Amino acid sequence: MATVFQLNYRIMNLKIKIQKVLVTFVLSPIFIINGNAQENIPPQHPIIQTKYTADPAPMVHNDTVFLYTSHDEDDAMGFKMKDWLLYYSTDMVNWTEHGVVASLDNFDWVPYDNGAWAVQCVERNGKFYLYCPMPGGVGIGVLVADSPYGPFKDPLGKPLIRNSNHDIDPTILIDDDGQAYMYWGNPKVYYVKLNEDMISFSGEIIQEPTTPENYQEGPWVWKRNGLYYMAYASTCCPEGIGYAMSNSPTGPWKYKGMIVDASEKTRGNHPGIVEYKGKWYCFGHSYDLLKKITPKFYERRSVDMDEMVYNPDGTIQNRHYWSVEGPEQVEPLNPFKRVEAETMAWSEGVKTRSETEWEGNFDWDRGKKIADRLFVTDINHGDYIKVKGVDFSDGAESVEVSVSPIYGGKIEIRADKINGPVIATVDVNITRQAGIWSTFTAPVNDITGIHDVYFVFKGEKDLFYFDWWQFYPARESEE
């Protein structure tokens, strides 16, 4: 988001960029030969491909990274944001979608259905607090749950903060002495002390007098080795991720540089920073996925991330842009337990959907609930899902998949490359069973050790829905 001046500047810039893009579009041999922009896009990244996501807010709880995001609708032109999504990972390369974790419907007092902007979730005393800004002076609300997955409820029935039209992008710091602070704002930074209940505050709302250099919006505050850090969408336009440091949670803040440089690919940006198993990671968002399909500009963003490295003096190393290869995998993935099909390091073509399965077929008599499912949809010939670093250990004997067949087809499970050796072929040879879930099993060819796994879909069209998969270990040969 930006001031009127910034918006005018962005529009002017955008016109120049569109002209440039048109020139490229017309002159580039890639566009002439292939008719699309795919050649220009890195082979991997952003980290979520099945939906447009923005404003990443990672949170570590136990051994899992929970990633809350805003959600740009697939047909968004400008901001079209109704709900918030949750993803999780234990290896920082394969992300599993949990689906919608909260929405504007959670707040009775919000007057519109488009304005689910950048959230942050924090845990305190076993409860999870999701701070949700609704722009245009509506305010910042808070939702509470007993689990990071929700369900989240509004304990106040009114905004926690309604201070000005600048009330967006909340971030929370709980200091070592237990004092919690909330920071937010565009184009200035505001902060207030939160009470221990995390749903009320004490004292004045302060407009931070040293709003750090290059600050735009999207603050993210954390502490390391006694030093306070504030990262934020920085410079305009486009925006990268800059940061400032302080010796105190209340400033003054001193600008230290860019963590991720501003570039055409990032445009608006919004940092989320977290430490996980001894390494630090910086999340932001880009338009890379959108650019894969069009040179046009819409508010359809995609969360990306990479490792973030400190210098010995506590300053942060700059990275020009998210690397193509992403961070190192923290631990290999275990295929011998059920893995949700919506667990992926990368995918092409597929989408996801939530649905409740009922016993009955009729609106007026659905019978008992069988299951709430989130599954992979829109599976057509040539689409694929890549799962990184799967540890087959001493080998697998068979693989089982849960699918709901539409026109039917095959899943070729391949090692290391989309056209790598076939590990197994699962034949889904039933049709017209959409809504009915069955498992299919196939024998596994010789495979041991750690491999990237590609689920490559083959068939004519609308093959099936895909819910989960699991390998079974090779049985020791009988003496």
Kindly list the residues in this chain that would bind ligand FUB in the complex (CB under 6 A).
1, 54-55, 70, 79, 117-118, 168-169, 217-218, 233, 268, 270
Instruction: Report the residue number, 76 or 422, with the smaller CB distance to ligand FUB.
Output: 76
Instruction: Report the residue number, 160 or 233, with the smaller CB distance to ligand FUB.
Output: 233
Instruction: Report the residue number, 305 or 456, with the smaller CB distance to ligand FUB.
Output: 305
Instruction: Report the residue number, 162 or 381, with the smaller CB distance to ligand FUB.
Output: 162
**How far apart are CB 262 and ligand FUB at their closest, in Å?**
14
Instruction: Report the residue number, 53 or 96, with the smaller CB distance to ligand FUB.
Output: 53
The Cα–Cα gap between 467 and 465 comes to: 7
**How far apart are CB 54 and ligand FUB at their closest, in Å?**
5
Instruction: Report the residue number, 72 or 340, with the smaller CB distance to ligand FUB.
Output: 72
Instruction: Report the residue number, 64 or 235, with the smaller CB distance to ligand FUB.
Output: 235
Q: Report the 3 state secondary structure along the chain.
A: CCCHHHHHHHHHHHHHHHHHHHHHHHHCHHHHHHCCCHHHCCCCCCCCCCCEEEEEEEEEECCEEEEEEEEECCCCCCCCCCEEEEEEECCCCCEEEEEEEEEHHHCCCCCCCCCCCCCEEEEECCEEEEEEEECCCCEEEEEEECCCCCCCECCCCCCCECCCCCCCCCEEEECCCCCEEEEECCCCCEEEEECCCCCCEEEEEEECCCCCCCEEEEEEEEEECCEEEEEEEECCCCCEEEEEEECCCCCCCEEEEEEECCCCCCCCCCCEEEEECCEEEEEEEECHHHHHHCCCCCCCCEEEEEEECECCCCCECCECCCCCCCCCCCCCECCCCCEECCEECEEECCEEEEEEEECCCECCECCCEEEEEEEEECCCCCCEEEEEEEECCCCEEEEEEEEEECCCEEEEEEECCCCCCEEEEEEECCCCCCCCCEEEEEECCCCCCEEEEEEEEECCCCCEEEEEEEEEECCCCCC
The Cα–Cα gap between 479 and 471 comes to: 24
Are 303 and 277 spatial neighbours (Cβ–Cβ below 8 Å)?
Answer: no
**How far apart are CB 70 and ligand FUB at their closest, in Å?**
5
Instruction: Report the residue number, 238 or 408, with the smaller CB distance to ligand FUB.
Output: 238
**How far apart are CB 120 and ligand FUB at their closest, in Å?**
11
Instruction: Report the residue number, 233 or 274, with the smaller CB distance to ligand FUB.
Output: 233
**How far apart are CB 236 and ligand FUB at their closest, in Å?**
11
Instruction: Report the residue number, 161 or 463, with the smaller CB distance to ligand FUB.
Output: 161
**How far apart are CB 79 and ligand FUB at their closest, in Å?**
6
Nearest CA to 156 out of 186, 130, 121, 190 is that of 130
> How big is the CA angle at 304 (ends 325 and 85), to the nearest 5 degrees?
135
Structure tokens at 303: 């969360």
**How far apart are CB 473 and ligand FUB at their closest, in Å?**
44
CA 463 to chain centre: 27
**How far apart are CB 28 and ligand FUB at their closest, in Å?**
30
**How far apart are CB 270 and ligand FUB at their closest, in Å?**
4
Are 148 and 86 spatial neighbours (Cβ–Cβ below 8 Å)?
Answer: yes
Which residues have a Cβ under 8 Å from the Cβ of 158 and sit 6 or more positions away? Answer: 109, 139, 141
Instruction: Report the residue number, 241 or 274, with the smaller CB distance to ligand FUB.
Output: 241
**How far apart are CB 55 and ligand FUB at their closest, in Å?**
5
**How far apart are CB 119 and ligand FUB at their closest, in Å?**
9
**How far apart are CB 167 and ligand FUB at their closest, in Å?**
10
